[in-house]
Structure 1
Amino acid sequence: MKKKTLAATLAALAAVGLLLSGCTGDSGTGDSTDAPAEAVTDLKIGNFLDVTSWDPSLADIGFDGPYLSAVYDALIALDKDGNPIPSFATDWTVADDDLSITLDLKTGVTFSDGSDVDADAVVKSLEYLQQGARSGEAYTHVASFEKVDDDSVKINLTERDDTILYFMGLGRSYIMSPAAIDAGTLAAEPVGSGPYTLDTATSVAGAEYHFTKVADYWDAASYPFTSLAIFPILDATARHNAMLSGQINVNYGDEANLDQAEEQGWNVAQRVSGWVGLQFTDHTGAKLEALGKVEVRQALNYAFDGAGVLAAVGGGAGVATNQVFPDGGDVNDPSLNDTYAYDVAKAKELLASAGESDLALTMPMSPIFAQWQPAAEQAFKDAGITVTWDDMQQPDYQLNAASYPVFIAFLAMDGNALATVARQVTSVQWFNPEPDYTKVPEVTSIVDTINSTRGDEQLAAVKDLNKKLTELAWWSVWYQADNTYYSVKGVQVQPVIGMMFPTLRYITQG
């Protein structure tokens, strides 16, 4: 069976919505000489997916970043480590009771249709985003938005929300022209106040998008390129050839081309992006009694050789780990990676002690995940576990996978620790429709501490949670997979947590 590249897998996952739009610890190589890079003024990006929608309420965070950040201003951005930083919102203040956030706004800016970007426009955009099918995830705890004065707005919350600013910075705070919102035309014709405008005359939907730089843009220093073009090229080989020919100078890369990229003198940037392994939707035995036993979940960790699966299926592009907090981040603890060192005998011993030596599992399978199926089958067989696969088409996997107590998953990660807790543990997600952490007192108590503290104390509690979840084998994580980006000399790409392709802010000259 031919192994899919990570890019091909991610493209397929995104197409059916299976990838959570989704780190730290980057590595990079560049020109082997110390000669200064020639300045590059024309940015030509090879993305591996077409724009989902020009409407920010419907767009995908992970893959639409370059497209949307070209034409829209965001209220809040993120630094490379997932921390919210000012953008169009120059500052913000969280109320003492944690129930409101007041944003100070940039003034004197207009949309591409000539209307003012003011507090009224920001409120209307936020209300629109809250109702969005995708963008609404950032505003689940918002009661209302209100204009305070001409250059500030207030977000009123129903309860404390430690993740709202992060999700806004990740791609859920783009400001849109009120007239375009009312007209319902944003999906086809973006109207924002970003550093570029879409040139519809020279762009070809699905093939190439060309942009014109906005004169006297307020944050021009963050967007130094005089021209911009984005080419959605789904095939990794075609995208690599486009890089070789000069059609593009930034590429979402295939790790198989790493040696040639270095031979070409391209800059290489890599960061972990998502975890691969078994997602357990049951930790209490509600769906499958055996999974309510920690020894069984631990056995399903010992049974898998994560490093071996990474080498065989992931091409070695990633890090073998059993944690969902990104490798290299503040919470990930490398010492925990030896907790479940590959040990089939230990897996069998734990199953026997739990009275589950004859464990039988039924799991869903689709073409996307077929590349991991042989490794999974072998691991189950070696541990004496019988598995039955329910084959289904790709679109059905998301609809049905979480109804099973366990399934193979590839889920994007967040570098922001609190967002990781929310998305991976406490909040309802397609892959975890009924979070059961509240039924495990030792987990609930730590989550309560996280939700009631701040700063160093809160971070310490998140680290405690990571250790406890590892101990309880909350997942069977095999490895964290890398994203790889190639760029010519003179262009640098900074991978950003949670963004499969970073926004333009993180593609710079240098």
Structure 2
Amino acid sequence: MFKSTCAALALSFGLAAPVLAEIPNDADTLAIGAYRDNRTFDRAQLTGSHWMNYWQPVFDTLLKAKDDGSIEPNLAESYSYSEDGTELTLKLHAGVKFTDGTPLTADAVKANMEYLQNSAGQNKWMLAGVDKITVVSDTELVLHLAQPNPALLFGLATVGGVVALPSTLGTPEGAAHPVGSGPYIFDTKDTVTGRQYVYTRNPDYWNKDAYPFDRVSITPITELSARLNALRSGQIDAAVGEPRVVNEAKAAGLTVTSLPADFFGFFIADRDGKMVPALGNVKVRQAINMAMDKAQILKFVDGGMGKVTDQAVAAPNALYDPALEGTYKYDVDAAKALMKEAGYGDGFTVQMPDLASMSAYNPIVEQQLGAIGIKVDWVKVSPTSTIPELLSGKFPLFLFRLGGNSPWGDVVKYIAPTAPWNTAKTETPELDALLADAQKVLPGQDDAKYRAITDYLVKNAWFAPWYQIDSVYLTNKSVSVSLPVENITPYLYDYKKTGK
């Protein structure tokens, strides 16, 4: 009733809802407005964040991440570690089939893992350390690790644990028309690539009660104003918002759900000074940390929805250390003094990517870095190339927001020498030793070794964090959601019907 009423009101008052949907929205449909278009369904190239919307309906994962970050069984009905943390045994639900009727076996799981490991996918780190996979039976396999990987369980609950039909791996058909064992089937008839992606219920799914909708539609809507209009009209039920539109969304009768999530700030990638020698000097990096008035940026640009921080990690997380907050206070004079001590009193020029998603901050970056003598040379980057361009290693400094994972997941994602977001592959003996100590800490054990890593990163100014920014998600009255601590959008099983 709510959806049809909204649509009628939109027509009667002439609201400019964008004509985006190909199929109508009704009470049995979950209609999501996505911030980004899908890139591929190739199992090795899948990612989290906004793109998880597209693959979660089709692909089941071995484990499941709860909203608080804890892990529980899923496609694998049980899992257990050896005492030394170097063997993980997974036991699968019996009788599960892919939607084409092919049995889902331990061999299929092994094929998917090996395909990801041998790929160039940015999330191959999720299976880091898995040296060998032994198939015990159709429903049991063992992952053998050279050394413990505390992030492995989280990886198996997200991209690392995806199971696609093995015959589609590495094929153009698999990249365009996915086949999995998940709660929904990709609807090739109603899907219009780039415009709307449609999924219909999998009648044979083993856990149907966790997914109350008969159909899911996902419409890429890049513009925030267009997403708001589509929500107002009832054309979609849910979409990513931003802190700056919270009041407008509430006034329109939408529900706002928020959660402190992403680290937001500068990635000082060229810490070795290979591209820009100045950035190899710790005093220059510390000066950058002191040059930004992050409290005022948070207040006036992002509506105060976040928490100023000096750490490139989103709490709660074992890497987070409250004692480090306040290490770098906004102080232009002190920043200038550090620049002079480092031999860069006259400043220098640095190339930064001009990203559409970060463009609102560009004038602030220019002004506040300029105040300590750092001139920014902007390089335009296409929205469709943002992630590949940032990960290419060509930019010595960039502004971005990145969600957290498990503590060791964050290490292998953007701290370790092989981490994709350690784009210059910086490495020091001191940090290597700290990482080696932390790798031996299994979940639930002593966090001090993780905090020692963050202490090193903060004092050596590997990053220049601004704040931990809130994720904002908008829904109409017919749908409710909860937000996970590790992702900017809800997981598919977080959407529920309200009956309104």
- Bucket of the pairwise TM-score, normalised by the shorter protein: 0.7 to 0.9
2:166 aligns with one of 162, 167, 178? 178
Q: Provide the secondary structure at the position in 1 that maps to 2:362.
A: helix
Matched-pair contact (CA < 8 Å) for 1:272–1:482: yes
Q: Which amino acid aligns with 1:220?
A: K
1:25 is matched with which residue?
none
* CA shift for structure 1 position 91: 1.7
2:202 is matched with which residue?
214
2:5 is matched with which residue?
none
1:91 aligns with one of 61, 71, 78? 78
CA distance in 2: counterparts of 1:370 and 1:460, whole angstroms: 38
CA distance in 2: counterparts of 1:504 and 1:388, whole angstroms: 40
CA distance in 2: counterparts of 1:181 and 1:367, whole angstroms: 32
1:30 is matched with which residue?
none
1:19 is matched with which residue?
none
Matched-pair contact (CA < 8 Å) for 1:428–1:434: no
1:483 is matched with which residue?
471
CA distance in 1: counterparts of 2:288 and 2:145, whole angstroms: 41
1:306 aligns with 2:297: no
* Cα deviations by residue, 1:366-404 (Å, 9 ceiling, x for unpaired): 253543332222223322x24251535445982797345
Matched-pair contact (CA < 8 Å) for 2:411–2:419: no
1:379 aligns with 2:390: no
Matched-pair contact (CA < 8 Å) for 2:105–2:139: yes
1:128 is matched with which residue?
115
1:492 aligns with 2:483: no
* CA shift for structure 1 position 249: 1.1
Change beyond 3 A, Cα 1:85–1:351: same
Change beyond 3 A, Cα 1:456–1:499: closer
CA distance in 1: counterparts of 2:119 and 2:191, whole angstroms: 26
Matched-pair contact (CA < 8 Å) for 2:109–2:163: yes
* Cα deviations by residue, 1:201-224 (Å, 9 ceiling, x for unpaired): 233222223322222531122212
Identify which range, 227-236 or 105-114, moves more after superposition: 227-236
2:238 is matched with which residue?
250
Q: TM-score, normalised by structure 1?
A: 0.83
1:428 aligns with 2:418: yes
* CA shift for structure 1 position 354: 3.9
1:157 aligns with 2:138: no
Change beyond 3 A, Cα 1:260–1:285: closer
* CA shift for structure 1 position 426: 1.0
CA distance in 1: counterparts of 2:229 and 2:56, whole angstroms: 26
Matched-pair contact (CA < 8 Å) for 1:255–1:484: yes
Q: Provide the secondary structure at the position in 1 that maps to 2:368.
A: helix
1:275 is matched with which residue?
263
* CA shift for structure 1 position 423: 1.9
Q: Provide the secondary structure at the position in 1 that maps to 2:43.
A: coil
Change beyond 3 A, Cα 1:228–1:455: closer
Matched-pair contact (CA < 8 Å) for 1:449–1:458: no
Matches for 1:40-55 after TM superposition, within 5 Å: 41-55=28-42
1:501 aligns with 2:484: no
1:114 aligns with 2:114: no
Ranges in structure 1 where 5+ consecutive residues have no aligned partner: 1-38
Change beyond 3 A, Cα 1:466–1:366: same
Q: Provide the secondary structure at the position in 2 that maps to 1:187.
A: helix
Q: TM-score, normalised by structure 2?
A: 0.84
Matched-pair contact (CA < 8 Å) for 1:325–1:415: no
* CA shift for structure 1 position 250: 1.1
* Cα deviations by residue, 1:213-262 (Å, 9 ceiling, x for unpaired): 22253112221223322222222222211111111111112434322322
1:36 is matched with which residue?
none
* CA shift for structure 1 position 53: 1.8
CA distance in 1: counterparts of 2:40 and 2:279, whole angstroms: 40
Ranges in structure 2 where 5+ consecutive residues have no aligned partner: 1-25
Matches for 1:64-463 after TM superposition, within 5 Å: 64-134=51-121, 135-181=123-169, 185-283=173-271, 288-368=276-356, 369-383=358-372, 385-389=373-377, 391-394=379-382, 395=385, 398=389, 402-403=393-394, 406-439=396-429, 441=430, 443-455=431-443, 457-463=445-451
Matched-pair contact (CA < 8 Å) for 1:276–1:411: yes
Matched-pair contact (CA < 8 Å) for 2:258–2:472: yes
Higher relative contact order (CA 8 A, sep 6+): 1
Matches for 1:15-30 after TM superposition, within 5 Å: none
Matched-pair contact (CA < 8 Å) for 2:106–2:137: yes
* Cα deviations by residue, 1:280-322 (Å, 9 ceiling, x for unpaired): 2344555555444433322221111112223444454433222
Change beyond 3 A, Cα 1:211–1:296: closer
* CA shift for structure 1 position 407: 1.0
1:58 aligns with 2:45: yes
Identify which range, 452-461 or 143-152, moves more after superposition: 452-461
Matched-pair contact (CA < 8 Å) for 1:208–1:229: yes
Matched-pair contact (CA < 8 Å) for 2:60–2:180: yes
Matched-pair contact (CA < 8 Å) for 2:391–2:423: no
Q: Provide the secondary structure at the position in 1 that maps to 2:409.
A: helix
Q: Provide the secondary structure at the position in 1 that maps to 2:77.
A: strand
CA distance in 1: counterparts of 2:167 and 2:394, whole angstroms: 42
Q: Which amino acid aligns with 1:375?
A: I
Q: Which amino acid aligns with 1:505?
A: Y
Q: Provide the secondary structure at the position in 1 that maps to 2:333.
A: helix
* CA shift for structure 1 position 459: 1.6
CA distance in 2: counterparts of 1:282 and 1:483, whole angstroms: 28
Q: Provide the secondary structure at the position in 1 that maps to 2:447.
A: helix
* CA shift for structure 1 position 485: 0.8
CA distance in 2: counterparts of 1:400 and 1:425, whole angstroms: 13
Matched-pair contact (CA < 8 Å) for 1:207–1:231: yes
Matched-pair contact (CA < 8 Å) for 2:484–2:490: yes
Matched-pair contact (CA < 8 Å) for 1:148–1:154: yes
* CA shift for structure 1 position 171: 2.3
* Cα deviations by residue, 1:340-387 (Å, 9 ceiling, x for unpaired): 12111221233344444233232234253543332222223322x242
Q: Provide the secondary structure at the position in 2 that maps to 1:271.
A: strand
